[in-house]
Structure 1
C-alpha cells in the first residue's frame, strides 16, 4: 500500500464523514440560531429552551436520514473491503 493509496482512502473517509454529519450539524445550527434569535428578542434566557428543541430536531433528522447514513457507511465499507486485495498486492 503506497502513500497515495492511504491519502486517497483518508480523503474519501473525511468526505464521507462530512456528508454524513452535515444534515445533523446543519439542523442543530439552524435550530440553535433560531432559538437564540427568539431568546434575544424576548429576553428569555432559559438554557433548556435551546437544548430541548435542538435535541428534538436532531432526533427527527436522524430518523429521516438514518437509512441514508447507514447505507452510505455500509457502501463505503464494502468498497474498502473490495479494494483490500488490490491494495495488498501492491506491497
Structure 2
C-alpha cells in the first residue's frame, strides 16, 4: 500500500469520526450551556443537575441519530476499506 493511499484513508476515517460525533457533541454543548445558565440564574449548585439533563439529551440524540451513524460507518467500510483490503 502506498503512503498516499494510507494517509488518505486515515484522513477519510477521521472525517467520518468527526461527522458521526457532531450531533452528540453539539447537543452536549447546548445542554451544558442551558443548564449552566439555569444554575447561574437560580444559584442552584447541584452536581446532578448538570449531569442528568446532559446525559438524557445525549441518549436521546444518540437514539435518533443511530441509523445515520451506522449508515455512515457501513458506507465508509464498504466503499473505502473493503476495496483496499481486496486489492491489497
Query: Does TM, normalized by the shorter one, top 0.5?
Result: yes
In 1, distance between residues paired with 2:3 and 2:44? Answer: 54
Deviations 1:26-56 (A, max 9, x none): 1001000110011011110001001110111
Aligned to 1:54: 54
Which structure is richer in relative contact order (CA contacts within 8 A, separation 6 or more)?
Answer: 1
Aligned to 1:78: 78
**Deviation of residue 63 (structure 1)?**
1.0
4+ residue runs over 6 A deviation: none
Aligned to 1:38: 38
Structure 2 gap segments, 5+ residues each: none
Quick check: 1:66 aligned with 2:59?
no
Root-mean-square deviation (Å): 0.9
Structure 1 gap segments, 5+ residues each: none
Aligned to 2:18: 18
Query: Number of matched residues?
Result: 87
